[in-house]
Structures are given as C-alpha cells and as structure tokens.
Amino acid sequence: MNKLRAIPFILSLLLLLTGCSTRTITIERTDEVMGTIMTLTLCGSSREEASLNNAMDAAFLRLRELEQIFSTTIDDSEINNLNQTAAQTPVAVSDEMFEVLTDALYYAELTDGAFDPTLGRLIALWNIGSATPSVPTDDVLTQEIGRHNYRHIQLDADAQTVTFTSADFSLDLGAIAKGYAADELEDLLTTEYGVKQAILNLGGNVLVIGSKSGNTPWNIGITDPQAPPEAMALVKVSDCSVVTSGDYQRYFESSEGVRYHHILDAATGYPADQGITSVTIITASSMRADALSTALFVLGVEKGLALIESLEDVEAVFISSNNDITLSPGLNTDNFSRLY
Ligand code: AMP
Ligand code: MG
C-alpha cells in the first residue's frame, strides 16, 4: 500500500478501535517499516508510562532488525545476500530467517504452492508497489512460470543453512514476514515488558494483545475493498491476529486503464483473479494468518473454505467483487457484524 493511501486506512481502523479503557493510558507511534505504515498502540496504567515508552522503543528497534533481514528493497539485507549466494553454496542464516523459511515451506506445501516464497523474480518483473511497475509480456511470463518452485529450497536444521537447488528463482517473503514480525513483537512486549493490552497494526496486519477491557473484545474493522479506508465489517477478538490480503492494498493502473494488484498466481504469472477482492484470516498466530490470507486470495472461496475447515482455530472472511461476504463456519453474529 502506498504511504498516502495507507494513512487514512490506518486512521479509520484505529477510530473503530475505541481505545483502551478509561483508567489506562495509551501510547501510540507510527512509522514506515518494511515498506508499509506501522502503528503500535500500547495500553497500561499511568504508573507504567516509562516502561511503555521503553517497550515502544524496543518494538520499533526490533522491527528495524527484522526489516534488515527480510526486506528485498534494502541492498545488503539478509534475504538479498541469500538470493545472491544460496545457489552456489549453503548459506548460514539467522534464527529468524531459518524460522520463517521453515514455516514458509510448510505453508507452500499446505496450500499446494498458492503461497510460494520463491516468486521473487516474478514479483520483481511486475514491480507493483514501486515507482516503476509494468506489465510483463506474455513471452516473459511464460518463461518465468516453471522457474520458481518452493521445493528448490533446502534447509539443513543442524547447520542452520539454506541451499537453493536452482539458480533460476529468488526468494520473496513479503507475504509472511509482517506476520512473523507481529508475533515477534507480541512476544517481546508481553514477556520482556509485561504489556497486557495492545494493538499492533503492521500495515493492515493486525495483532491484538489482551482485550479492550475486562471481557470485552477489541473491534477490528475489515476494509471495504471498493471504498478503502471505509470499514464494511467488524470482528470481535481478544489475543488474536486479523490479517487481510486485498487487491486494494498495492496496485497500479496500466496506460490502458487496467488495474493490476500485488498478489500473484504462480500458475499464470498474473495477479490472482478468483472474483474476490479481499481475504481476512483470524487466528492466534500472525505468521499463520499472513501466509494463509495470501494463499486463500489465490485459491478463491471454494478451495479456500475447504482448506480453512481442515484447520483448527482458523477463520476466514472472503469479500467478493460484488461485495458479497462469505464466512467460515466459526464466524457468526457473536463475533462478526457487517456494517452495510
Ligand atoms: P500479502 O499482502 O501478505 O498478501 O502479501 C503480498 C506480497 O507477497 C506481495 O507484495 C509479494 O511481495 C508477495 N507475493 C505475491 N504473491 C505471492 C504468492 N502467491 N505467494 C507468496 N508471496 C506472494
Ligand atoms: Mg500474507
């Protein structure tokens, strides 16, 4: 999502989250990290103000560390180093990279490659979200399809190394890294700073810690893909992640007026086109929600629902191009409401 579009989106989301309860203070900070606008809102008692400020500093420092590992737009990032060398020799990687790659391979297998961490070259060809996006020719796309394959990534858990068994692809972890970052922040804030109430909004990738107050859950808005940043539905959650992949988050329009979004279907090389405009996943782990939201956008409603029903404690909200909403079985009037 570009910066200008992201700011109203985040503001509207936060307006819906009617803040922490009255006896607490709220500290909020917004910055651009990993190419997206991130807003952290921490709540606590007024006695905890200094500790909350320290927690906020530590959280943004951690985000910068993770950006240096996972961002493909930072020249000397760990992922770029891996992309340059792992086809020639096994590369020793950080704990973070090893953990994310392990999970990425799991979700690639689970979704039959709908989520595929090896689409880096295809993503770079489209370059959506950059200043210079373009529509690749069919010839180029045809050549590109078949080069990527998550099975070309080999992990050695003992040596904590990564090897690519082909030089014809590159890694892109943009569909999972923000989720991992949200889980990391939750761990840092709760275990090291004792934070009990927070909303971590990493560019639409939301993780809430605790409840709004007592037993009252937080209300998280789901954006209307036809009218962002308007929220068209609310989910009620406590200690949970709510992660959306949508065609309105990053896109560009060609000179012919055709709109192309950033979630690619590895089978065609084009943006996924299953008649849906957003998929929201609701589950405890933000990394799980992130990988699944991208995968389900590619799989579509029917296959996506079948997959969700095979998993425990994961719910999904699909919004279709005509604004129909399809819910997974665990969502009902107790925890979900459509606003219009
Ligand atoms: P998300 O916003 O989490 O759905 O992730 C979208 C981002 O993940 C894109 O900007 C790309 O960097 C990358 N991506 C696009 N399509 C896929 C895909 N099918 N599988 C994995 N990553 C993808
Ligand atoms: Mg994702």
> 91's torsion region: left (phi>0), alpha (psi -120 to 50) or beta?
beta
Residue 277 C-beta-side C-alpha neighbours within 13 Å: 17
pLDDT per position as a tens digit, 92-149: 999 999 999 999 999 999 999 999 999 999 999 999 989 999 999 999 999 999 899 9
**Mean pLDDT, rounded, for 280-292:** 98
**Mean pLDDT, rounded, for 69-93:** 97
In terms of pLDDT, which residue wins out, 21 or 177?
177
Q: Does any ligand 1 atom lie closer than 6 A to the CB of residue 170? A: no
Q: Does any ligand 1 atom lie closer than 6 A to the CB of residue 298? A: yes
Q: In the prediction, which pLDDT does 1 show?
A: 39
**Mean pLDDT, rounded, for 290-297:** 98
Percent helix, strand, coil in the chain, to 5, is 35, 25, 35
Q: In the prediction, which pLDDT does 146 show?
A: 86
How many Cβ atoms sit within 10 Å of the Cβ of residue 65?
14
CA–CA distance, 281 with 244 (Å, rounded to integer): 6
Q: In the prediction, which pLDDT does 175 show?
A: 98
For the chain, the average pLDDT equals 93
Under the banding of pLDDT at 50, 70 and 90, the label for residue 3 is: very low
In terms of pLDDT, which residue wins out, 4 or 19?
19
**Mean pLDDT, rounded, for 40-45:** 97
Q: In the prediction, which pLDDT does 24 show?
A: 82
Q: Among 9, 70, 263, say which to mutate for ligand 1: greatest number of ligand atoms within 8 Å of CB.
A: 263
Under the banding of pLDDT at 50, 70 and 90, the label for residue 21 is: low
How much distance in Å is there from the Cα of 118 to the middle of ligand 2?
A: 14
Phi, psi of 98 (to 5 degrees): -65, -40
pLDDT per position as a tens digit, 196-254: 999 999 998 999 999 998 889 999 999 999 999 999 999 999 999 999 999 999 999 99
Strand partners, 337: 234
Q: In the prediction, which pLDDT does 204 show?
A: 84
Under the banding of pLDDT at 50, 70 and 90, the label for residue 19 is: low
Q: Does any ligand 1 atom lie closer than 6 A to the CB of residue 290? A: yes
Q: Does any ligand 1 atom lie closer than 6 A to the CB of residue 245? A: yes
Residue 98 C-beta-side C-alpha neighbours within 13 Å: 14
Q: In the prediction, which pLDDT does 8 show?
A: 46
